[in-house]
Amino acid sequence: LLELDRKHLIHPVANYRDHEKKGVTLLASGKGAYLTDSNGHELLDAFSGLWCVNVGYGQQSVVDAATAQMNRLPYATGYFGFGSEPAVELAAKLVEYAPASLQHVYFTLGGSDAVDSAIRFITYYYNAIGQPDRKQFIALSRGYHGSSTIGSGLTALPVFHKNFNMPGAYQHHIPSPYAYRSDVGHDPAALIQRSVQSLKDKVAELGADKVAAFFCEPIQGSGGVIVPPVGWLKAMQLACRELGILFVVDEVITGFGRTGPLFACEAEDVQPDLMTVAKGLTAGYAPMGAVLMSDAVYTAIADGAASGTPVGHGHTYSAHPVSAAVGLEVLRLYHEGGLLANGVALEPVFSGGLKDLLAHPLVGDARSRGLLGALELVADKSSKRQFDPSLKLHERISTAAYAEGLVFRAFGDNILGFAPALCYTADDFALLFTRLRKVLDTVLAQP
């Protein structure tokens, strides 16, 4: 299998030639927070797969919900006036739990097409209300909004963004509220003011009647777990209202208990015009994402469609009944199953464990909210100097982590990302930090 994988399966994020040499670790099974690979090596997953398996592995009730739905009805198209019971129920539940501003749901297969759909719906919306020139989209540097051809333009990570500007429209970025490396430091008011002013300046530069929307993650995930100060998200919402542009919150990572409440927006009573979700919606047991939108946006699009501005958009697997049945059971686990409450109860253990590691010689910063966190490794703590990339420290860390039986994400700039499942116990956290300390010590001892 490893040989066939090297020959035939593309792993795009990896360095292709490195991948061909090293191959992959084939995962064979999982239970709770633990994975076993095909060599029988046990791994504690501190990243929930790819920030998605929020309920942990081996949740039998989710498997049962999927199986029952597959037996009853595996597929229903949303075209030709059809639908399915679990999809309707899931849409209603999402609207019940989401910020009150959001009333309508379009289901996708994952996060990238949720972002992509949001951009397309926004474009239809502005056409419908007679403002077709609003084609400029603003997002944050270090942001990640998926790999679709349009959405990857909002993604600010250079390797994704390069060569993919949205055809006929444009994406722009303002600085990330990255406290650790900001010249205004950790001062919350200054960081918020900086972002609000940057957004206003960018809108003024592009033309007040040319900008469609501002997209942001409440906490930037793939950009290195950048945690803005409390109040930042609300301030961005208010700035968008003042500027007359749509405010879109991408909760693909932060949704479904990752930061404590079901959605990060809840913590600050943030009311976006659109919101994208995926990952924890089905917690990895089936693919699904969604874009939620306000009644004002939906009504304008629907009225436009009725009066000559038709909408061309749809996916074969939108609102897939099996994914929807999985989503319903996963939502039940977050609430009635006590997983949200467990995540909130154990948050201090997680943030405390990360903060304790600030004493380690390699660790320059420790940051988290809920069960989403990061350590930033630096070559020199006082100057915050980064390690020479030629050391490939992140690769050494991943190798040591595998040997210790720990999975997390080591980003290229030596930020280590953590997203443990909401089913973690205090013992799981103790093991995570014991193993993590060993990983850091191993790497520190290397020449």
Q: Which residues bind ligand PMP (CB under 6 A)?
A: 110-112, 115, 144-146, 217, 221-222, 250, 252-253, 278, 289
Torsion region of 284: left, alpha or beta (phi above 0 gives left; psi -120 to 50 gives alpha): left
* Residue whose entry in the numeric block shows the structure tokens 């320059």: 364
Eight-state DSSP code of residue 131: -
For residues 412 and 373, what is the distance between their CA atoms, to the nearest angstrom? Answer: 16
Minimal distance in Å, beta carbon 284 to ligand PMP?
Answer: 10
Burial 138-154 (b: 16+ CB within 10 A, else e): bbbbbbbbbbbebbbbb
CA 260 vs CA 19, 22, 419: distances in Å: 36, 37, 12
Minimal distance in Å, beta carbon 252 to ligand PMP?
Answer: 3
Minimal distance in Å, beta carbon 320 to ligand PMP?
Answer: 14
Minimal distance in Å, beta carbon 204 to ligand PMP?
Answer: 27
Eight-state DSSP code of residue 360: S
What is the dihedral angle through the alpha carbons of 237, 239, 241, 244, rounded to the nearest 10 degrees? Answer: -130
Minimal distance in Å, beta carbon 187 to ligand PMP?
Answer: 26
Encoding tokens for residue 50? 């790819």
Nearer CB in complex with ligand PMP: 280/364: 280
Nearer CB in complex with ligand PMP: 114/363: 114
* Residue whose entry in the numeric block shows the structure tokens 């992140």: 394
* Residue whose entry in the numeric block shows the structure tokens 């991408």: 250
Nearer CB in complex with ligand PMP: 283/300: 283
Nearer CB in complex with ligand PMP: 243/253: 253
Minimal distance in Å, beta carbon 83 to ligand PMP?
Answer: 23
Nearer CB in complex with ligand PMP: 107/144: 144
For residues 319 and 269, what is the distance between their CA atoms, to the nearest angstrom? Answer: 28
Nearer CB in complex with ligand PMP: 146/343: 146
Nearer CB in complex with ligand PMP: 289/364: 289
CA 115 vs CA 4, 304, 305, 403: distances in Å: 33, 21, 21, 37
Minimal distance in Å, beta carbon 271 to ligand PMP?
Answer: 19
219 in Cβ contact with 384 (< 8 Å): no
Instruction: Give the torsion sign (CA, 92, 96, 97, 100).
Output: positive
Nearer CB in complex with ligand PMP: 289/373: 289
Eight-state DSSP code of residue 224: T
Minimal distance in Å, beta carbon 7 to ligand PMP?
Answer: 25
161 in Cβ contact with 152 (< 8 Å): yes
The residue number whose beta carbon is nearest to ligand PMP equals 111
Minimal distance in Å, beta carbon 51 to ligand PMP?
Answer: 7
Minimal distance in Å, beta carbon 217 to ligand PMP?
Answer: 5
Nearer CB in complex with ligand PMP: 27/184: 27
For residues 249 and 416, what is the distance between their CA atoms, to the nearest angstrom? Answer: 24
Nearer CB in complex with ligand PMP: 99/353: 99
Beta carbons within 10 angstroms of residue 286's beta carbon: 20
Nearer CB in complex with ligand PMP: 213/349: 213
Eight-state DSSP code of residue 25: P
* Residue whose entry in the numeric block shows the structure tokens 């803005």: 228
Minimal distance in Å, beta carbon 81 to ligand PMP?
Answer: 28
Euclidean distance between the first and the last CA atom of the chain, given in angstroms as a whole number: 35
Q: Which of 211, 38, 44 is nearest to 139 (CA)?
A: 211
Encoding tokens for residue 208? 């007040």
Nearer CB in complex with ligand PMP: 115/330: 115
What number of CA atoms fall less than 13 Å from residue 336's CA on the CB side? Answer: 6
H or E element, residue 410: strand 409-410
Question: What is the CA angle 153-320-54, rounded to 5?
Answer: 70
Minimal distance in Å, beta carbon 266 to ligand PMP?
Answer: 17
